[in-house]
Structure 1
Amino acid sequence: MAAGAVAWLTAVSGALGYGTPSQTRAASPVAEEVPGYAVEDFNYPGADRILAEQNILLKRGDGHITLVDCSSGTGFIEVLARRQSSKVCFKVVGNSGWLTMEIPAVYSMKGNDYTTQVDMTVGAEEQSYELDKNTWTAVGESADEQGREHVLVEIRSTK
């Protein structure tokens, strides 16, 4: 019986990689490469294509404010800009959201059901506007005494 126990112990230890170097097996990795970590950089997906097709530079956001086709529904934040052939629309989802961008020559925006603040620049100056809910608000050059061209640079919305 003792001989059987020794034989069993030798077999098990060899299978587990114990024993003399001639008895050990080479360890092989379970996976060749470990997948990388997913790190959110908040860059807007497809921004290069949107810039080329629509002349709208979308930079960064939290994913809760997205560019949409204005004809795809209602309840959007709407933007009128002299350099755009048609209005530009953004959909807001969740309790809050933010998006940075560059849309030049903005003069009017329509809010939705959210409380929305927009930041615009004119030269080195930054100006903020609170959008009226579900109605058009004069912003940028239409709200500026000098009629200067403003660039829309950020939208922030909360429920």
Structure 2
Amino acid sequence: MSGQPQRKRLALRALGAAAVGALAWITVTAGIPGGSSHPTSSAALVADDAPGYAVEDFNYPLADKILAEKKILLKRGDGHITLADCASGTGLLEIMARDKADKICFKVVGNSGWLTLEIPAVYAIKGNDYTTAVDMTVGTEEKSFDIIKNSWTPVGEAADTEGRDHMLVEIRASK
């Protein structure tokens, strides 16, 4: 009698193995994921039609176009500081550069933001309601300036005792 339960277990194992084998065969012949990728397969993979994943790389969108049109190199940011039309309203950061005829303006949204860029010969920045700091380079030296809220702040050559050209390389703002 003790041999009968053992035979039932063996029979169930054999049946289970046969079921797994049959499923594997169906998968291969039907083109189900993990099976054959034969071009005559009638089933299509759903993932082939699904959109890919979006991966944020923090690169500034349309930076090449802005560089070509406005000669402003916008590199990377978190999307909370963006180039804006100076006539678009109030509350913008305004930047004066010696080699630009007009002001360059940026809109800040959210609780905080950052933007890396390159604008040469910047000498003044008008702040907005945000606490703003900028980093600038002159040669191999890097200098930081705190921007006065809602007022013009001399930066770069206007704040340098030697009057050297400074390039604006980063803007950081927070509420």
Q: Confirm or deny a common fold (TM above 0.5).
A: yes
Residue 35 of structure 1, CA deviation: 3.2
Residue 36 of structure 1, CA deviation: 2.3
Which residue number corresponds to residue 144 of structure 1? 160
Corresponding position: 1:31 with 2:46? yes
**Which structure's residues are more often helix, by fraction?**
2
How far apart, in 2, do the equivalents of 1:155 and 1:25 lie?
A: 59
Corresponding position: 1:96 with 2:100? no
Which of 125, 148, 169 in structure 2 is aligned with 1:132? 148
Please give the root-mean-square deviation of Cα atoms over the aligned residues, in Å.
2.0
Which residue number corresponds to residue 46 of structure 1? 62
Structure 2 counterpart of 1:70, one-letter code: C
List gaps (5 residues or longer) in structure 2. Answer: 1-21, 32-42
Choose 1 or 2 for highest CA Rg.
2
How far apart, in 2, do the equivalents of 1:108 and 1:156 lie?
A: 16
Give the fraction of aligned pairs with identical amino acids, expressed as a percent: 66
- The aligned length equals 141
Query: How do residues 16-27 of structure 1 correspond to structure 2 at under 5 angstroms?
Result: 26-27=30-31
Normalised to the residue count of structure 1, the TM-score between the two structures is 0.83
How far apart, in 2, do the equivalents of 1:80 and 1:132 lie?
A: 15
C-alpha deviations, 1:43-79, integer Å up to 9, x for none? 0001001001100000000000000000011100000
Which residue number corresponds to residue 103 of structure 2? 87
How far apart, in 2, do the equivalents of 1:32 and 1:64 lie?
A: 33
How far apart, in 1, do the equivalents of 2:64 and 2:30 lie?
A: 49
Structure 2 counterpart of 1:85, one-letter code: A
Normalised to the residue count of structure 2, the TM-score between the two structures is 0.76
Which of 136, 140, 159 in structure 2 is aligned with 1:120? 136
Which of 50, 62, 66 in structure 1 is aligned with 2:78? 62
Residue 26 of structure 1, CA deviation: 1.5
Residue 37 of structure 1, CA deviation: 1.7
Residue 137 of structure 1, CA deviation: 0.2
Residue 25 of structure 1, CA deviation: 6.5
3-state SS of 1:155 partner: strand
Q: 1 or 2 for the larger relative contact order (CA 8 Å, sep ≥6)?
A: 1
How far apart, in 1, do the equivalents of 2:30 and 2:87 lie?
A: 63
Structure 1 counterpart of 2:139, one-letter code: G
